[in-house]
Amino acid sequence: MSQPAERVYLARLVGTAVFDPIGDAVGRVRDVVLLMRRGAAPSAVGLVVEVPGRRRVFLPLTRVTSIAPGQVICTGVLNLRRFQARASETLAIAELLERSVTIKDGKHPAFIEDLAMEPKRGGTWQITKLWVRKAERRKGVLGFSRRGEALVVNVDEVTGLLSRDQVQGAQLVIQSFVDHKPADLAAALMEMSPSRSAEIAAALDDERLADVLEELPEEDQVTLLGTLRSERAADVLEAMDPDDAADLLGDLPEARAQQLLELMEPQDADQVRQLLHYEDDTAGGLMTTEPVIVGPETSVAACLAMVRKQQLPPALASMVFVVRPPLETPTGRFIGLVHTQRLLREPPHDSVGGHTDPAIEPLAPDDSLQEVSRRMAAYDILAMPVVDDDNRFLGAVSIDDVLDHMLPSDWREHMDDEEDAL
């Protein structure tokens, strides 16, 4: 059996492949779980490992038999239950990198750029060294610059390691999720402490934070939105899909919801207010008011350009909805829908109004969730139009919204349990 490395720098460990005893890759290291107590050096207790499907799970360090450049070898079977940090645990990469500390000798302020752990007796690991960069005041720079001298110090040579501060950046965490889907960052935020997840949320731009909020459970959405200033919260709600923003506002106290609606741009607020009139489990409560809407004279080529937009969800990109002007919901008279697959087979300069599907009957806003799901299954379709009594187009219900409401609120935990049993 290989012996663990004598000293391991944690930031360098991120991305390292994890192998089982027979050499099969099981995932990659994404973070290190620490226990931090006053008066004692932090101890490392496990690794957060990303397994296929981008699920993050916990691997106890007692199960690690070797750490070497480019590989971590573990023994036994991984528990595939999604990792969630306990209140007593700290994530080294997500929570400690960039934290400001003070070097006791000379009382120099510094920022943590890496931490080193070493094995101790009994198979435990301790944080023994910090790689820090001194903060310096420079001419023309407000506050401290992070371009000072870099050095390695013993963990007991600094103060402030246990104290969270406002100086600590979040860009390192955000950058590590640049190529990931919003759901992956949402899952990572649920692993962090509430204060750290609030810091990450504050550092995200409005569009990215809106995407992440849409992937969080309702309770976590409300909690995270509550950490934002009212003006910022309104901006993020504007960036969310109207149906998701309406769902979130519906979970807030009425006075708070009305306050945020008043701070939103009038057009965005009007769309959300329209959706708040409907019950959650009806077509009106499920629909979005922002599908692809075109007039009957729009060319096939123009429609295809619209459905190529990256921010458009796949279900809504599967079709365009043809209406009489005006084209903003609630629109003029609904004419029909055209499948994107049909558009691919038609001449680019044709008018889209001649290619609508006559077999699709639209939903009414008060149709139940059961009726919506039945009709979508019968038509084998990813999105359905919703019209009012005057045949004005109100919006579209997509399959992802139907599934979100049909599955139990804790479906992710049930999925974890099923995968654990495999």
DSSP states of 176-202 as a string? HTTTS-HHHHHHHHHHS-HHHHHHHHH
310 three-class SS: coil
Domain ranges, ordered by start, for the chain: 1-168, 178-277, 293-406
Cβ-based burial of 187 (10 A; exposed 0-12, middle 13-18, buried ≥19): buried
pLDDT at residue 221, as a whole number? 92
| Residue-level pLDDT at 409 | 58
- Residue 142: the pLDDT is 43
Confidence at residue 5, expressed as pLDDT on a 0 to 100 scale: 58
Spatial distance between the Cα atoms of 3 and 64, rounded to a whole number of angstroms: 10
The runs of H, that is alpha helices, within 46-159 are none
Spatial contact of 177 and 184, defined as CB atoms under 8 Å apart: yes
- Nearest Cα residue to 54 out of 174, 173, 186, 172: 186
Cβ neighbors of 199 (< 8 A, separation 6 or more) are 168, 170
Separation between Cα atoms, residue 346 and residue 327, nearest integer Å: 23
CB 83 within 8 A of CB 58: yes
Q: What CATH class is the domain 178-277?
A: mainly alpha
Q: Please tell me whether the peptide bond between 385 and the residue prior to it is cis, using omega within 30 degrees of 0.
A: no
How far, rounded to the nearest angstrom, does the alpha carbon of residue 417 sit from its chain's CA centroid?
22
Peptide bond preceding 296 in cis form (omega within 30 of 0): no
Residue 364 pLDDT: 97
**205 Cβ neighbours under 8 A, 6+ residues apart:** none
**Dist CA 414 CA 90 (whole Å):** 26
Q: Which CATH superfamily is domain 1-168 in?
A: PRC-barrel domain (2.30.30.240)
Q: Could you identify the residue written with the tokens 């769902």?
A: 247
Residue that has been written with the tokens 């008060």 in this structure: 366
Which CATH superfamily groups domain 293-406?
A: CBS-domain (3.10.580.10)
**Which residue pairs from 131-135 have beta carbons closer than 8 angstroms and sit at least 24 positions apart in sequence?**
131/9, 132/101, 132/103, 132/158, 134/103, 134/108, 134/109, 134/110, 135/100, 135/108, 135/109, 135/110, 135/111
**Residue 154, φ and ψ in degrees, nearest 5:** -70, 150
Q: Would you give per-residue pLDDT tens digits along the chain (422 residues)? A: 444 558 999 999 999 999 998 889 999 999 999 999 888 889 999 999 999 877 889 999 999 999 998 899 999 888 888 787 887 888 998 888 888 889 988 788 898 999 999 998 777 899 999 999 888 755 444 445 556 788 999 999 999 888 765 545 677 678 777 778 888 888 888 877 787 888 889 989 999 999 999 888 888 899 999 999 999 999 999 999 898 999 999 999 999 999 999 999 999 999 999 899 999 889 999 999 999 999 999 999 999 999 999 888 899 999 999 999 999 899 999 999 999 999 999 999 999 999 999 999 999 999 999 999 999 999 999 999 999 999 999 999 999 889 888 776 554 444 444 444 44
